Amino acid sequence: MSTMEKAQVKIGLEVHCQLTNLKTKLFCGCPSDYRGKEPNTTVCPICLGIPGTLPRPNQKAVEDAIMVAEALSSQISEETVFYRKNYYYPDMSKNFQISQYDGGGGVPIAASGTISVEENGTKITVRIRRLQLEEDPARLVHLGAIDTSPYTLVDYNRAGIALLEIVTEPDLTSPKEARLLLQKLRSILEHLGVSDGSLEGAMRCDANISLAGGARTEIKNISSFKEVERALNFEIMRQRSLLARGLKTGQETRHWDETRRTTITLRTKEEEQDYRYFPEPDLTPIRIPAETIESIRRRMPELPDARKDRFVKQYGLPPSSASVLTSEKALADFFEKCTHLYSNARQICNWVTTDLLRCLHGQSIEIGESKITPANLVEMLKMIDEGVISGKIGKKILHEMVKTGSSPRDIARRHGLVRISEHEVLDKLIESVFREFPNAVRDAQTDEKAVHYLVGQLMKKTEGRADPQLANKLIRERLRSHAQQVD
């Protein structure tokens, strides 16, 4: 996109982050690890909305929210209150959600923050409008597609899980920036230890976009960061084509269809969505004194930006690589664990930020899902240092380690990938190469290119396992003795 085109795009995000590291839900003591559990087993009268029950707020959830607000340089409210957001839906156990509100005198837990995103060395600062705590609704299961299923099945295991809603101002100017922002946010939350973004459904987001000062379109049902970029790219195209035809875009909500890669209008019952917010009478206000914020600030873990700076200083890494490493906490952790076992941090960094990442992306997995361990990577680097394998072989082994978690020595042994540096073995192979390519042998006496060709053929024969320096040396020696013989 050209700079001018970019300037016309305004994107804002509304991200819902589960505070997955809490042990319990937001308003009841049900365990929060609901994934993979039998339906309706991590429930209690409170999260089921059984008549007569009352909510009890999780203190750690509030502390986590304050910590995130601090990390995002937000203004934390001195006093904040929970509100009821009233609406009916089969995933709502009380047909109201206990949430927060920034209208009608209501104040969310924090507001006016910032988050910075780096794209090709340029830093963009995005403003955060507000942060608020709210409860997750239940999970709906359909028979087939949502609009053709004859009934809906409801599982309340997820109902009541603590969510932190983070809303940005429309400061983003491209879909790619949006994706980077989400990655940065995830990295921050993981570094703070409040959320594990790799868990399915742990970070969900709605996007809103407007073009050339036009009406705002909200896009819902985006399931992953990649899909955010896709959905927004699609929407820009769709709106541009409308504008080109002289048509206007109206303010509306659209649903992203991942399979068909398109956005569709949701049947707008917008005029009926009056949430009738009012303060939750069953909960007390939350007062956050300066001392509380201070104590939380003091025990805050290292944030990605600080970690990046430290990587540059401590390990002498180039800033761009340090950026890549700290963009994913698990990746940065992996890197640092390696440095405890191997002193050449730059070496580790190179391998992690290029070949390892490429390998992971190729398999569409995150480092947490792969089987490779820091010990394994380090062992492989040592094998290269020792000359047991070449760098090229190392890449192959890396691939295998990611998949199986086996040690590099085991892999090398199993596949016979150890570097050949025994002279007798090489001599025999050189003999057969010379036999197969007599013209090259003749040309090699005068033409450097032919020498390289012969070395190449030897490498090919050994599937890259020959020590290239030794191969070179031995071939030249043989060529010299050949020349002498001829002479």
Q: Pick between residue 86 and residue 421 the one whose CB is nearest to other proteins.
A: 86
For the CB of residue 64, give the shortest distance to other proteins in the complex, in Å.
9
Please tell me the number of Cα atoms within 13 Å of 408 on its side-chain side: 25
- Following DSSP, what letter does each residue of 59-102 receive, concatenated? HHHHHHHHHHHHHTTPEEPSEE--EEEE---TT-SSSEEEE--S
Which residues lie closer than 8 Å to 450 by C-beta, 6 or more apart? Answer: 440, 441, 443, 444
For the CB of residue 206, give the shortest distance to other proteins in the complex, in Å.
18
Q: Pick between residue 42 and residue 239 the one whose CB is nearest to other proteins.
A: 42
Q: Pick between residue 53 and residue 421 the one whose CB is nearest to other proteins.
A: 53
CA separation for the pair 219, 210 (Å, rounded) = 11
For the CB of residue 57, give the shortest distance to other proteins in the complex, in Å.
5
CA separation for the pair 316, 309 (Å, rounded) = 10
Q: Pick between residue 272 and residue 487 the one whose CB is nearest to other proteins.
A: 272
**Strands 252-257 vs 217-222: parallel, antiparallel or unpaired:** parallel
Supply the DSSP symbol for 356: I
For the CB of residue 162, give the shortest distance to other proteins in the complex, in Å.
10
Tokens encoding 120: 């090709």
Tokens encoding 127: 């403003």
For the CB of residue 269, give the shortest distance to other proteins in the complex, in Å.
9
For the CB of residue 17, give the shortest distance to other proteins in the complex, in Å.
17
> Is residue 289 within 8 Å of 314, Cβ to Cβ?
no
For the CB of residue 354, give the shortest distance to other proteins in the complex, in Å.
41
Residue where the block lists tokens 């042994």:
413
CA separation for the pair 324, 361 (Å, rounded) = 14
> Is residue 141 within 8 Å of 75, Cβ to Cβ?
no
CA separation for the pair 207, 253 (Å, rounded) = 10
Q: Pick between residue 53 and residue 320 the one whose CB is nearest to other proteins.
A: 53
Tokens encoding 71: 């990390």
For the CB of residue 370, give the shortest distance to other proteins in the complex, in Å.
31
Residue where the block lists tokens 């101002």:
169
Helix (H) or strand (E) run with residue 265 in it = strand 262-265
Between the alpha carbon of residue 217 and those of residues 210, 241, 265, the distances in Å are 6, 15, 10
For the CB of residue 169, give the shortest distance to other proteins in the complex, in Å.
24
Q: Pick between residue 99 and residue 168 the one whose CB is nearest to other proteins.
A: 99
For the CB of residue 156, give the shortest distance to other proteins in the complex, in Å.
7
Which residues lie closer than 8 Å to 252 by C-beta, 6 or more apart? Answer: 215, 217, 218, 265, 266, 268
Amino acid code (one letter) for 192: L
Q: Pick between residue 88 and residue 123 the one whose CB is nearest to other proteins.
A: 88
> Is residue 300 within 8 Å of 192, Cβ to Cβ?
yes
CA separation for the pair 121, 364 (Å, rounded) = 26
Q: Pick between residue 156 and residue 225 the one whose CB is nearest to other proteins.
A: 156
For the CB of residue 92, give the shortest distance to other proteins in the complex, in Å.
8
Cβ atoms within 10 A of the Cβ of 420, count?
A: 19
Q: Pick between residue 13 and residue 61 the one whose CB is nearest to other proteins.
A: 61
Q: Pick between residue 56 and residue 310 the one whose CB is nearest to other proteins.
A: 56
Which residues lie closer than 8 Å to 22 by C-beta, 6 or more apart? Answer: 32, 58, 60, 61, 64, 162
For the CB of residue 63, give the shortest distance to other proteins in the complex, in Å.
9
For the CB of residue 293, give the shortest distance to other proteins in the complex, in Å.
14
Q: Pick between residue 32 and residue 457 the one whose CB is nearest to other proteins.
A: 32
Q: Pick between residue 15 and residue 162 the one whose CB is nearest to other proteins.
A: 162
Torsion over CA: 107, 108, 113, 114 (sign): negative
Q: Pick between residue 51 and residue 438 the one whose CB is nearest to other proteins.
A: 51
Which residues are near other proteins by CB under 8 A? Answer: 22-24, 28-31, 38-45, 48-62, 79, 81, 84, 86, 88-90, 93-96, 104, 140-142, 146-147, 149-156, 267, 272, 274, 276-279, 281-287
Helix (H, G, I), strand (E, B) or coil at 384: helix
Residue where the block lists tokens 């599982």:
155
